[in-house]
Amino acid sequence: MFTGIVEELGSVAARDGGRLRFHCSKVLEDVAMGASIAVNGCCLTVVDWDADAGWWEADVTQESFDRTQLGDLTPGDPINLERPVRLEDRLGGHLVQGHVDAVGEIIEPIPDLHVSVPEPLHRYLVEKGSVTVDGISLTVVKPTEQGFTVAVIPHTGQVTTLGHKGVGDRVNIEVDVMAKYAEKLLEGHR
């Protein structure tokens, strides 16, 4: 479980088939084999690392490449990194699973970010509701016919990948899991 508050802007170091290597520092402070780290909102498992050299690796399945934009990444690309929330941590964003629902596309870049998403996700997007874009917890300003808009403050643009994204760039989207649970619970009452 994550919060959508990006801890570090890392970068892609290399890709060898399904193995990705990432450059970073902060998220390696307490890393262990099998630890989870969210990369652009996608929960990945640490399978190798060298904290002194500042890198870690994860194996990515074809399923994850198909459902996320991780396959678009090339060496040097910036990435959002977050370690899982601990019980004693503040929940600054919202509950984020690291299970990407779909890939969206930027229609308008920050500060007035407009993202298109597949139609089946539209029902989970509500004004002032939570959404995760590339692992960043954001508040929906307005649902649109194509997806949604959010207002991004300058600080968020500087410390996340959103400051590097432009029109047409693909982003990982995770809708609020609470909305999905509420829908599931109400299915029997329709």
Q: Residue 186 contacts by C-beta under 8 Å, 6 or more apart in sequence? A: none
Give residue-wise pLDDT tens across range 101-134.
Answer: 999 999 999 999 999 999 999 999 999 999 999 9
Give residue-wise pLDDT tens across range 130-187.
Answer: 999 999 999 999 999 999 999 999 999 999 999 999 999 999 999 999 999 988 999 8
How many other C-beta atoms lie within 10 A of the C-beta of residue 99?
Answer: 14
pLDDT band (50, 70, 90) for residue 22: very high
The answer to whether residues 140 and 149 touch, using CB atoms and an 8 Å cutoff, is yes
Give residue-wise pLDDT tens across range 64-106.
Answer: 999 999 999 999 999 999 999 988 888 888 889 999 999 999 9
The answer to whether residues 77 and 12 touch, using CB atoms and an 8 Å cutoff, is yes
* pTM (2 d.p.): 0.94
pLDDT band (50, 70, 90) for residue 50: very high
d(CA 132, CA 159): 15
The answer to whether residues 70 and 171 touch, using CB atoms and an 8 Å cutoff, is no
Write down all domains in the chain, each with its CATH number in brackets: 8-82 (2.40.30.20), 102-189 (2.40.30.20)
